[in-house]
Structure 1
Amino acid sequence: MRIAELTALLHLASPALPVGAFSYSQGLESAIDTQWVTDETSARTWIESGVANVLARCELPFVAHQLARWNVNDGAGLAAADAQFLASRESAELRRETEQMGWSLKQLCLSLEWGDEARRATLAALAPVAQPSVFAFAIAAHGIEIEAALAAYAFSWVENQAAAALKAVPLGQMAGQRIIVGLRGAIETAVERALATSPDEINTFAPMLSVLSARHESQYSRLFRS
């Protein structure tokens, strides 16, 4: 990987990227409220399950297939797939989350004029747009290899989940670091599975996430928006 590609990838995976990821827990806060997650061990189990059952089976392969569509600027295919992804969100909160983060990342991509004019026009026409679709656009714009891009996407998700656990369980800083380090293998496995997943095999079957996310909408006390 060239240094320019690496720095672009680090930028996209950075928690400082202004897309608002820090304000979401993606169901983790509800799992904490219902005592599914109470300590470091249960937090790692919850996050690892998300990597294996949500990222590996849905978001990562979706990014990979959207990247292929961006590479040929298939506007109709991108819009149809994005609409399917939005419809797959398990709750109103999770749909609003991906739309908000997608909008924010889209504004960043357009403002910084990433990619060529034709693809930026396609991106501008996608509204609403899911965050993974825009992430795939950014990958294509920087010519980043798909394996590295998916690993960065998954790592960023794990890091954000660990940060949410630190605040809401709460956990200590070293516990968070142990969780992140301990899930390196899970991320590699998820990327491998994603690359072998066809568009027809993508699925979002995670019933407990659906239930807990829906409960979070009326949870009495909340730190996060999902």
Structure 2
Amino acid sequence: MLHALPALLHLASPQLPVGGFSYSQGLEAAIDCGWVKDAGSAEAWIGAHFDAGMACWELPTLALMHRAALAADTRALRALNEDFIASRDTAELRAETQQMGWSLIALLAGWTRAAPVLQALAPAFGGLNGPRPVHPVSFPCAFAVAGAALDAPTDGLLSAYAFAWVENQVAAAIKAVPLGQAAGQGILLGAHERIATAVAQALQMPAEDRHTTTPQVSILSARHETQYSRLFRS
């Protein structure tokens, strides 16, 4: 884990390397509607979004993707990737996961240690180390491939992914509500136990039990496409 930790933190960062900072996943639209207006409502929104989407869908799907990538099971990985993209039910959310996924794959193509994994998994997507692959690659799928290339433990991979998501939501709230840095840090501190619990559950969750129920996010994401003034791309 120690050798993989710096690389995981690098890849998971919402600031670099794949541009997660430019997306809010509906939070900016929630602010525009007045649903999120202070630290308390921001923490409630982020927590509810995490529980309804990240904890019971993204994290268990990422765990399955990582196991498939480690086993070079191209059929399973492609099916999971297609499932995840299908769950992104607005144009902005689909564009987000595909842009970040391809950006991460392009970054991995420059890592010598990632070459064997990319070569083994290339048939699932119609190429991974040249021009843009035939089949879109979602961000969690690309992150799973990165984890396999790093030989990272699944629990560490999920923890880094989940914390980066919460951190990015908090950063978006600090900019757009706006919130102070102390309020943002308070939300992050409060998320530690939630993340640890969600990771533990995701590692044990059967594939058929995965689900996501985020209709408010979907509605707000669709509204965001025509929002007059915005800082973020989703």
TM bucket by the smaller chain?
A: over 0.9
Task: State the match for 1:107 in structure 2.
Answer: 106
User: Which residue identity does 2:50 align to in structure 1?
Assistant: V
Q: Between Structure 1 and Structure 2, how many residues are aligned?
A: 225
Deviations 1:127-168 (A, max 9, x none): 310000010011111111111111111100010000000110
CA contact (8 A) 1:115 1:138 kept: yes
TM-score (normalised: structure 1):
0.95
Report the secondary structure of 1:195's partner residue.
Answer: helix
Shift of 1:16: 3.8
Moved over 3 A (4+): 118-121
CA contact (8 A) 2:104 2:143 kept: yes
CA contact (8 A) 1:110 1:120 kept: no
Report the secondary structure of 2:112's partner residue.
Answer: coil
Unmatched 5+ stretches in structure 1: none
Which residue of the other structure, out of 164, 177, 197, is the alignment partner of 1:189? 197
Which residue of the other structure, out of 180, 189, 212, is the alignment partner of 1:204? 212
Task: State the match for 2:47 in structure 1.
Answer: 48
Q: How does 1:42-81 map to 2 (within 5 A)?
A: 42-81=41-80
Task: State the match for 1:164 in structure 2.
Answer: 172
Task: State the match for 2:231 in structure 1.
Answer: 223
User: Which residue identity does 1:141 align to in structure 2?
Assistant: A
TM-score (normalised: structure 2):
0.91
Unmatched 5+ stretches in structure 2: 123-127
User: Which residue identity does 2:141 align to in structure 1?
Assistant: S
Shift of 1:117: 2.5
User: What's the C-alpha RMSD, in Å, of the aligned pairs?
Assistant: 1.4
Shift of 1:121: 5.0
Q: How does 1:136-147 map to 2 (within 5 A)?
A: 136-147=144-155
Shift of 1:118: 5.2
- Separation of aligned partners in 2, 1:134 and 1:91: 20
Report the secondary structure of 2:4's partner residue.
Answer: helix
Same amino acid, percent of matched pairs: 51
CA contact (8 A) 2:57 2:211 kept: yes
Q: How does 1:80-95 map to 2 (within 5 A)?
A: 80-95=79-94
CA contact (8 A) 1:73 1:119 kept: no
With 176-185 and 115-124 compared, the bigger mean Cα shift is at 115-124
